[in-house]
Amino acid sequence: MTPVKTPEPVRGKPDAVCVAAVEPAREAAIAEAGAAQVGDHLGHQVDGERLVTHYFASTHAGYRGWRWAVTLTRASRAKTVTINEVVMLPGGEAIVAPEWVPWSERVQPGDLRPGDLFPTLAEDLRLEPGYTDTGEPDEVLAVVDELGLGRERVLSPIGREEAAERWYAGDFGPASAIAQAVPYKCFACGYWIRLNDSLGQAFGACTNEMAPGDGRIVAYDYGCGAHSDAVIESPDQPSTEHAFDTTGYDELAMETVRALNPVDDEPPSDEEILVTAAEIDAEATENY
């Protein structure tokens, strides 16, 4: 619902004849809409000298809150009124259509879906002519196209400025929370590739798959924890070679080893394994 503002009444002395002409105004409304569409008299409004608008409720089911407005006037010293116009106007509680917005202003970033076309306005200030047919041979024009110079329109200074302001203030600019949390900046990062365009003075592309800005345009003073200079000195890895105590050891014969570690002829049962496991767990818990 769009709120409707009632026009301010014109200050002035009300004309008694026009104010009293309620029935002539009602008859004009009935002649326009029919008796079934015209309801109670809702009052009047003085619009000027000998100019008054009478309001009648609309009883149409599809126009709740609307009202019939009958504007009438009279000539100087005349005893009868003249009907100027009869229209239906929205009241303060009327449901009206929202204010019309052009399609170019209704479409927002992210609305474009696969298969949709978003035409560019011919007078788009973000673009300017970028290609002039010089009549050069095809091999020269091929080089022009390869260098990206064969486009009919290119970014204008206004387009560059708008893009720079939008990118710099976005999620990959220096004011973002992630950039504020780290001391590293993109201009010193090995994963940062500066743009070749004039926008490269302040922007580049991130190529680190572990960074939140991977594959995106990031500002030169943006930063994150995946910076190439964020190197952590890892502790020495433990040696995988076995270590032996050579300070002293005892030699045991195989018979003694077998006596100290008898091998059962039959493997333990499942119950014995469970009991042994429970005892080990209980001992480990007690020691802990």
- Decide if 25 is inside a domain: yes
Contact 139, 145 (CB under 8 A): no
Mean pLDDT split into 10-residue runs, the chain, 288 residues:
48 82 94 93 92 94 91 90 94 84 83 83 82 62 59 84 94 94 93 90 95 95 92 63 62 62 60 62 61
Residue type present at position 28: A
Q: Which residues contact 126 (CB under 8 A, 6 or more apart)?
A: 155, 156, 158, 159, 162
Report yes or no on 226 lying in a domain: no
- pLDDT computed for residue 3 by the predictor: 44
Residues 170 and 214 in one domain: yes
Q: Are residues 25 and 85 in the same domain?
A: yes
Q: Domain check: are 132 and 77 in the same one?
A: no
pLDDT of residue 1: 39
The residue type of 238 is P
Q: Check whether residue 164 and residue 213 sit in a common domain.
A: yes
Domain limit, last residue, from 67, 90, 113:
90
Flag whether the pTM goes above 0.85. Answer: no
Which residue range is the domain that position 129 belongs to? Answer: 124-155
64 and 31, same domain (yes or no): yes
Q: 150 and 185 share a domain? A: no
Task: Quote the number of domains for the chain.
Answer: 4
Residue 10 lies in a domain: no
Q: 20 and 67: one domain?
A: yes
**Same domain, yes or no, for 190 and 207?**
yes
**HEC secondary structure over the chain:** CCCCCCCCCCCCCCCHHHHHCHHHHHHHHHHHHCHHHEEEEEEEEEEECCEEEEEEEECCCCCCCEEEEEEEECCCCCCCCEEEEEEEEECCCCCCCCCCCCHHHHCCCCCCCCCCCCCCCCCCCCEEECCCCCCCCHHHHHHHHHCCCCCCEEECHHHHHHHHHHHHCCCCCCCCHHHHCCCCCHHHCCCEEECCCHHHHCEEEECCCCCCCECCEEECCCCCCCCCCCCCCCCCCCCCCCCCCCCCCCCCCHHHHHHHCCCCCCCCCHHHHHHHHHHHHHHHHHHC
Evaluate whether residue 265 is within a structural domain. Answer: yes
Residue 11 lies in a domain: no
User: Do 208 and 265 lie in a common domain?
Assistant: no
Q: Are 92 and 65 in contact (CB under 8 A)?
A: yes
- Indicate if 184 and 199 belong to the same structural domain: yes
pLDDT of residue 61: 87
Nearest by Cα to 217 from 161, 163, 177: 163
231 part of a folded domain: no
* Domain final position from 109, 133, 155: 155
**Residue ending a domain, choose from 155, 172, 201:** 155
